[in-house]
Structure 1
């Protein structure tokens, strides 16, 4: 079986990446083939080192047609059996590709978001969520009229890597408790960081010189966080490790007496026998123990909730007191956490269940193939290139190259320094002339509408300098006799 997986992400690495990597490795171990569509960077390099095929792209909407050409070429040489996409723009690409190639389509929704589910669930073979709480959210809030299609495939830690250490690490200082915060340090994790700061403030007063805060992660808020922790930590120690992977991440858990973590990171720490305060981007579940473990499993360890609206003041302070009570109590909680992982998050069983879904869906498709739809049915496939040129020193002209532009209408929103300064309503003109005065950071959003009412939109930003090329590269690692497919697409951005 050949599985195509499109996945878009902002951060270079994270729990999403590890989830996809683990599933792909399992499929390879069972003799199946996996091709992943993702951004270039450390994740794509990690995939290639494992022998997993990669198509690299930044998922710009005007590149969809070229990406599909790469997929079609791959499909002609190594037939794809199904498409398993991940949310947002990668789901959009995956769905369109499945309709054009006539292939089964599956999607995983990792958190509390709808991602336009009502629009495509009727033409989707299966929806996977990572917890019961997220499934319930889709049913209640997402108006999902096909509940039978929504299944639970949880995130699972690598049990061969993340396992309880056989002996107590000699690096632990019995007089000081090391507590790891394991998360990306980005805006979408702001709730996690806000609650963590409360713990740091409380510990500075009640447990001076007794706690070593061990921050495992990196992101756009890292410098801001370092400044805050320096002001809040008191006499307690803070160490930033940056983003860690594989054995380095496992060893960080081993060095910790407890962890504060969301989602997959919580599970990895638990698998190592480390007690965990589950703190996700949507909810504070708290210290995992007899009274809270079911809520943690239900919400994917903080992935479902209403952030501060659900948070009970003083919760993390009380859980910190419990952790600081004794090494014996931490050991008991760690053992309890590990048992939860063993019972409910067995990685081999979970991946095998996912493979079972793949096989049944593939067999159903082979028994009743579906028609292929023409490219012209999808507005996104009619967008081709963006041409940008300076007509004068202070004027810029943007042109969208499209198939049959005379049948399309274009609306433009112009921003300067994140404020909309001009709107131009729908008109049959794929060109925009703007004046770059006064100076500032400009961003343009274009909305495109066809005769059937389909809509699409794309951003053009001045955040970066001119870039002459964006590459879509397909790496065919398993078939050495096949050529590499390289598509070089001119892509100019506002300079």
Structure 2
């Protein structure tokens, strides 16, 4: 039995932090003692519903915040914590700068599309795709485990009833409901959302019985609202529906006939036995099929550039049109996805991977001098990053999340693919 302090980067509704909490519950069920350290937010209720202890930290703080690092050190001493697990770079750095420098084992999880260059190289990491794992190893990280976004295949299943959601939303039984369930943010997601809106508009004009449901909220909400309003006006009905954020989106997944998405939302969709169209950026879209599956398992549930049907809204329309026209195709691809979710992406499999990562962190205790040297290197790299961010903000070119910037993602894809070229 391990005493684990789990520190998610956020308590907003979102795939990676929900995965972290679900895994905490699974680890608790496997006999470990979990303490969740987190800011206020909607997912705190989920932590408490699972019967996990929540230790609060301020929502308004620096990133990283050395007050939080000291708080983590105190928590480790008082609770005799065996390992601290930080999610994304600010919690990883705070865990390393606090209890890590005092000798407590630390591991990190990075579910962003790239690993920040100032994360300590000796901290064992888990990442979400094989390409990112290889890229992190090439950058000098010593131990990197593949932890694909897990799915609660018991709660997220074809047995969840979506009929009530369809009736309440005014969706007719004859309509093919296409659903996007994600945060509405510019990085990674916005291009695919808007392109899907355009594609569904074209399908409607062609006489196809479709509706598009968008569940979520975020900084890009106004832009998505405007695109939906324009298309609805052009077709003369509410073709595209936006619900905002739902604390429990399971009925929406269950109500859908087709899921469009990426990352954890995509995997959650296949757990409901729904056919999946993965969207990315630079025009990327691709159906999950037995033929495309290997690509997704390697690079993750995202992509850059045209897929097998071309790029942009036209390719999305072609993919969706095949699904709209064929109930058999929807059923076969839904069954394929569900089998994949059960065999590869269950919480149980993910918890086993985390236990191996915790054991590695505990075994690899470095001496104090090595930890201080690593801290100095990280501090130098972080300072350079902060200075560059300030310069970008001054220019007006700064992104909210550099780890998910298109250029960083493309660099990861190209670096590892290039290493395989003879």
User: How far apart are residue 378 of structure 1 and its match?
Assistant: 7.0
Q: Which has the higher helix share?
A: 2
Given that 2:200 and 2:317 are in contact with CA atoms closer than 8 Å, whether structure 1 keeps it comes out as: no
User: How far apart are residue 218 of structure 1 and its match?
Assistant: 1.1
Match in the other structure for 1:91 = 92
Given that 2:197 and 2:240 are in contact with CA atoms closer than 8 Å, whether structure 1 keeps it comes out as: no
Q: Deviations over 1:175-221 (max 9, x none)?
A: 2111111111112122222322331332232235x111111111122
Instruction: For 1:412 and 1:355, locate their aligned partners in 2 and report how far apart those are by CA, in whole Å.
Output: 37
Given that 1:81 and 1:103 are in contact with CA atoms closer than 8 Å, whether structure 2 keeps it comes out as: yes
Instruction: For 1:85 and 1:340, locate their aligned partners in 2 and report how far apart those are by CA, in whole Å.
Output: 28
Given that 1:204 and 1:236 are in contact with CA atoms closer than 8 Å, whether structure 2 keeps it comes out as: no
Could you say if the C-alpha distance between residues 340 and 309 of structure 1 is closer, same or farther in structure 2, counting changes exceeding 3 Å? closer
Superposed CA RMSD = 3.5
Instruction: For 1:301 and 1:413, locate their aligned partners in 2 and report how far apart those are by CA, in whole Å.
Output: 28
Instruction: For 1:412 and 1:369, locate their aligned partners in 2 and report how far apart those are by CA, in whole Å.
Output: 31
Q: Which has the higher strand share?
A: 1
Could you say if the C-alpha distance between residues 231 and 289 of structure 1 is closer, same or farther in structure 2, counting changes exceeding 3 Å? same
| DSSP-derived class of the 2:9 partner | coil
Could you say if the C-alpha distance between residues 379 and 136 of structure 1 is closer, same or farther in structure 2, counting changes exceeding 3 Å? closer
User: How far apart are residue 68 of structure 1 and its match?
Assistant: 3.1
- List runs of 5+ in structure 1 lacking aligned partners: 382-410, 422-495
User: How far apart are residue 20 of structure 1 and its match?
Assistant: 0.7
Could you say if the C-alpha distance between residues 167 and 239 of structure 1 is closer, same or farther in structure 2, counting changes exceeding 3 Å? closer
Given that 1:85 and 1:108 are in contact with CA atoms closer than 8 Å, whether structure 2 keeps it comes out as: yes
Residues 7-406 of structure 1: pairs in structure 2 closer than 5 A: 7-9=8-10, 12-49=12-49, 50-58=51-59, 60-61=61-62, 64-116=65-117, 120-121=120-121, 123-124=122-123, 126-139=124-137, 143-146=138-141, 149-165=143-159, 169=163, 171=167, 173-188=172-187, 189-207=189-207, 210-233=209-232, 234=235, 235=237, 237-245=239-247, 248-280=248-280, 284-302=284-302, 305-306=303-304, 312-313=311-312, 314-362=314-362, 364=363, 370-371=367-368
TM-score (norm 2): 0.78
Instruction: For 1:322 and 1:412, locate their aligned partners in 2 and report how far apart those are by CA, in whole Å.
Output: 46
Could you say if the C-alpha distance between residues 286 and 30 of structure 1 is closer, same or farther in structure 2, counting changes exceeding 3 Å? same
User: How far apart are residue 79 of structure 1 and its match?
Assistant: 0.9
| DSSP-derived class of the 2:219 partner | coil
User: How far apart are residue 343 of structure 1 and its match?
Assistant: 2.1
Given that 1:181 and 1:215 are in contact with CA atoms closer than 8 Å, whether structure 2 keeps it comes out as: yes
- List runs of 5+ in structure 2 lacking aligned partners: 380-386, 397-422
Given that 1:275 and 1:288 are in contact with CA atoms closer than 8 Å, whether structure 2 keeps it comes out as: yes
Q: Report which of the two structures shows the higher radius of gyration computed on alpha carbons.
A: 1
User: How far apart are residue 274 of structure 1 and its match?
Assistant: 0.9
Given that 1:261 and 1:276 are in contact with CA atoms closer than 8 Å, whether structure 2 keeps it comes out as: yes
Instruction: For 1:57 and 1:162, locate their aligned partners in 2 and report how far apart those are by CA, in whole Å.
Output: 32
Given that 2:258 and 2:275 are in contact with CA atoms closer than 8 Å, whether structure 1 keeps it comes out as: yes
User: How far apart are residue 41 of structure 1 and its match?
Assistant: 1.6
| DSSP-derived class of the 2:320 partner | helix
